[in-house]
Amino acid sequence: MGSEVLKNKIEKMARDVKGAGMKMSLLSTKDKNAALRKIAKALLGRSDYLIKENKKDLKAAEKENYSKALVDRLVLNPKRIKGMADCLLDTLKIKDPVGEVLKTIKRPNGLIIEKVRTPIGVIGIIYESRPNVTSDCIGLCLKSGNAVILKGGKEAYYSNKAIFTVIQEALKETKVSVDAIAQISSTDREAIHHLLGLDQYVDLIVPRGGEGLIRFVAQNSSIPVVKHYKGVCHTYVSQKAKLDMAEAICMNAKIQRPGVCNAMETMLVHNSVANKFLPEVASALLEAGVEIRGCSKTKKILADAAKKAVEADWSEEYLDLILSVKVVDSVDEAIAHINTYGSKHSDAIVTEDKKEADKFLRCVDSATVYVNASTRFTDGYEFGFGAEVGISTDKLHARGPMALEELTTYKYLIRGKGQIRP
């Protein structure tokens, strides 16, 4: 498709979505829930079709010699399709955030000002690999009263298209306009460029994928972007920690699922407990197959059990059975390290000292800060928010799990009786 033709096509699509989106704020919770239920049913009913289309992507992936991990993320099977339907039914159960009155102000002049949650408008979601993102994000956007434009990765071309088609069909029997959802199926990267320039129609872009994709989107978008960068998460073991609790928390944060953004990448240990704690935890880590990269003090204590960490290790998101370890002299040094090398995602302290814990909570500049718990809890479901479009590492609009509430904004509704400004 010629670039100009593609551009016009995407612009028309966005304009239509915006038009349909304007009507979304008139839908009742009941209407939106009915639509989610209908979509869930349709996905289950069309499982065979979805699996058949998914096979085309898997065949192409084989040809392209994609990694086993990537192919695994692509697969659709009855269990995964049930997972997609379940995600919609979970979203259905979460309270509708739209219309919530956040604040009511009565002014001396009699004006009544209500600050009310509203949909954002049109949300563009740019993602890679996992086809379930298609239905998960449609569910979250519809429930929060937003229209949505989806741009999935080319590796899931047939799967995403099939899921979208089934959902589109299902919406025809609901009060949600079919135009409130759109999919850019072009695999041309230019398509993303065109979408990112449409700030008159699209209100928010959420990129989901690797760091490369997110940087590309952030740098090329005239539309606000909420970024979900990497998770370089820390656990600081204080001299006031219960060391058995610290070991359990660190092991969980590192090995329970090392390939995810809320797994621990760096462990910080207070100098005065390092001699006792490090050999114990190192032996458990090594047994679990974890490679340790330590600062010079760590190396001195662990000797050959640890490799030497280099500067780049402190800001690395391994997503693997690798852990960098640093010995620090104080909670202040731990906080400074985290704020310098971390990614504003999830960081924990293990300590029995309330004052120290409070300082850590206050000063660590991350979306979620833990005392005596594993960083692995940073997740929409674990917070009770339900499904999420991602974990924001930005500081504006949304921080941490970005679920239904974070897909809304607010406006002020002001009711008067003819008040004018003197």
Chain contacts with a second copy (rule: CB under 8 A) = 22, 25-26, 105, 107, 111, 113, 120-121, 203-204, 218-219, 222, 224, 226, 242, 245, 248-249, 251-253, 256, 339, 357, 359, 361-363, 365-374, 376-378, 382-384, 394-397, 399-400, 409-421
| CB contact at 8 A, 379 and 256 | no
Helix extents (H) in 172-260: 189-196, 211-220, 243-255
| CB contact at 8 A, 385 and 94 | yes
For a second copy, the closer of residues 24 and 171 by Cβ is 24
For a second copy, the closer of residues 161 and 337 by Cβ is 337
Q: In what order do the strands lie in the sheet with 147-151?
A: 181-183, 147-151, 122-127, 204-208
The distance of closest approach from Cβ of residue 398 to a second copy in the complex, given in angstroms and rounded to an integer, is 8
The distance of closest approach from Cβ of residue 125 to a second copy in the complex, given in angstroms and rounded to an integer, is 15
For a second copy, the closer of residues 245 and 321 by Cβ is 245
Of the candidates 133, 143, 192, the one whose C-alpha atom is nearest the C-alpha of residue 163 is 133
Of the candidates 32, 275, 36, 14, the one whose C-alpha atom is nearest the C-alpha of residue 122 is 14
The distance of closest approach from Cβ of residue 165 to a second copy in the complex, given in angstroms and rounded to an integer, is 30
For a second copy, the closer of residues 59 and 257 by Cβ is 257
The distance of closest approach from Cβ of residue 23 to a second copy in the complex, given in angstroms and rounded to an integer, is 8
For a second copy, the closer of residues 43 and 249 by Cβ is 249
- H helix or E strand, kind and range, residue 91: helix 78-93
Amino acid at 183: Q
| CB contact at 8 A, 131 and 165 | no
For a second copy, the closer of residues 59 and 395 by Cβ is 395
Amino acid at 313: D
Cα 239 from Cα 330, distance rounded (Å): 9
Both structure tokens of 377 = 């809890």
The distance of closest approach from Cβ of residue 9 to a second copy in the complex, given in angstroms and rounded to an integer, is 22
| Helix, strand, or coil (residue 353) | coil
For a second copy, the closer of residues 98 and 195 by Cβ is 98
Taking the alpha carbons at both ends of the chain, their separation in whole angstroms is: 59
| Helix, strand, or coil (residue 378) | coil
Provide the residue count of the chain: 422
For a second copy, the closer of residues 135 and 252 by Cβ is 252
Cα 6 from Cα 54, distance rounded (Å): 25
Cα 52 from Cα 215, distance rounded (Å): 34
The distance of closest approach from Cβ of residue 115 to a second copy in the complex, given in angstroms and rounded to an integer, is 9
For a second copy, the closer of residues 2 and 108 by Cβ is 108
Amino acid at 360: F
The distance of closest approach from Cβ of residue 298 to a second copy in the complex, given in angstroms and rounded to an integer, is 23
The distance of closest approach from Cβ of residue 44 to a second copy in the complex, given in angstroms and rounded to an integer, is 28
Cα 81 from Cα 292, distance rounded (Å): 38
The distance of closest approach from Cβ of residue 75 to a second copy in the complex, given in angstroms and rounded to an integer, is 24
